[in-house]
Amino acid sequence: MTELTKTLELKLESPNAHKRRKLRETREAYQHALQDAFNQNCTTQTEANDVVVNYDLSGYAKNALKKYVPQLTTTYNADELHDDHPVRFTNEGLRLDHKPENAIEWYVKIPHHEDYHLWLPAQPNPEQRDWLEAVNAGDAEMGESRLFEREGTWFLHVTTTREIKKRSGVSAEQRTAIGVDIGEASLVTVCHRDDHGSPTTPELWADEGKTVRQLRKTYFTATRRLQTRGSERIAESFGDDVWTQIDNVFHRVTREVVEYAESIKNPVLVLEDLTYIRESMDYGEYMNRRLHGWGFAKLHAQIRYKAIEKGIPVETVNPRNTSKECHACGEVGYRPRQATFKCTNEACWVDEYQADVNGAINIADRYLSGESYSREHTDGDDSAEDGGRLTAPQDSHADAETQQTTRGTYAS
């Protein structure tokens, strides 16, 4: 086992004037306390405590200062302080919450001062979605966090750690590619080719696809009805409950996908590249064909972090036509029914084939043909530069019905 550390980058989504003022107050109190303890040359936690205790800050910020100031004065021997130190909080101060039904899915709880905190919607760095899922599921630990402002935008960086199994040193060509297809009829389908090249042991999570569809339907009908009646609070807690149930299904399925991979010698899990999908396809059309934008991203992220935890590599490939091409001859066919692929090539032995399995084999084959993008995040390098790399998230494409229901306790 080795320990991986990564700094999660969260951009706080346009806090209102009230919340911005609170954030600035926290920062000012923190800077003063830091400067004060530094000027008094506090070299122990006790000395630092005597100074910072007088400031109007949360215990989490004070505790972080108690640890930090002695480091500055003794270890780093700093002569003077930069004036834009981020506000540090100890790990207990922060909470993360996920509300996939909202247009902005993630929320963070930031301590303000004693007994008072702020809930703020936050956009994660889309490349770190797997870590966020791991933290949210309790499979990665949060450490210290740092709050700061850059050019009018507030960011929160959170140190996170998790234990992973070391990957075996087998080369990419020696690995068995397992294609992972995420679809509508079957929530997830996996398949790979045996030593002779024949597709073997496909596994489909079709019942789970049905369960998730039903839960989503229940959610949208029930919350719409509750909202029409003005029962916003009930609608919200009902919604939380339904999405938790969906997430539980996702976690079970993604764990089983990784177990499937573990049962195969030298596996590599192959997924479709989400970035590529966004750039090169009609997104609306594509997503209609899919379960749901966030569901797709969420399943990917969960598979990714659970696989890496077990030392199984994950690669992505170009998704174009993976569901339309015949895995045997490569010709573009069609789907007479959702679950059926039909090859139109008369010379091909395939007539009809299970559509999701056909897709999964195509995905696996793209890896075998060398067409994969190594976008691995497994090296544990902590390359976060404060705020610099944050871009718009890739997986917040909530569909229209989701956006209609954007409201919540955080919006106070």
222 vs 328, beta carbon nearer Zn ion: 328
Closest approach of Zn ion to the CB of residue 192, in Å:
19
Question: What is the strand order of the sheet 267-272 is part of?
Answer: 199-204, 188-193, 176-182, 267-272, 314-317
215 vs 328, beta carbon nearer Zn ion: 328
74 φ/ψ angles, rounded to the nearest 5 degrees: -105, -55
Backbone CA torsion sign across 281, 284, 288, 294? positive
- Is 267 buried (19+), middle (13-18) or exposed (0-12) by CB count in 10 A? buried
Joined together, the tokens standing for residue 190 give 């996996």
Q: Which of 329, 339, 378, 401 binds Zn ion (CB under 5 A)?
A: 329
Supply the DSSP symbol for 373: B
Closest among 97, 405, 412 to 223, alpha carbons compared: 405
Closest approach of Zn ion to the CB of residue 361, in Å:
12
Closest approach of Zn ion to the CB of residue 341, in Å:
9
Please give the Cα distance from 258 to 356 (Å, whole number): 18
333 vs 393, beta carbon nearer Zn ion: 333
Contact 277, 233 (CB under 8 A): no
52 vs 368, beta carbon nearer Zn ion: 368
Please count the residues of this chain forming the interface with Zn ion, following the rule CB under 5 A: 7
Stretch that binds Zn ion, among 206-214, 255-263, 280-288, 336-344 (CB under 5 A): 336-344
Q: Which of 14, 345, 404, 409 binds Zn ion (CB under 5 A)?
A: 345
* Burial track 124-140 (b if 16+ CB lie within 10 A, e otherwise): bbbbbbbbbbbbbbebb
25 vs 331, beta carbon nearer Zn ion: 331
Does 324 sit near Zn ion (CB under 5 A)?
Answer: no
Stretch that binds Zn ion, among 53-61, 334-342, 348-356, 376-384 (CB under 5 A): 348-356
Q: Which of 350, 378, 387, 407 binds Zn ion (CB under 5 A)?
A: 350
Closest approach of Zn ion to the CB of residue 350, in Å:
4
Q: Which of 286, 328, 340, 401 binds Zn ion (CB under 5 A)?
A: 328
Could you give the angle at which helices 59-70 and 17-39 cross, rounded to 10 degrees?
30
Quick note: the x/- pattern for Zn ion over 278-317, rule CB under 5 A, is ----------------------------------------
Please give the Cα distance from 37 to 19 (Å, whole number): 27
Contacts with Zn ion, residue ranges (CB under 5 A): 326, 328-329, 343, 345, 348, 350
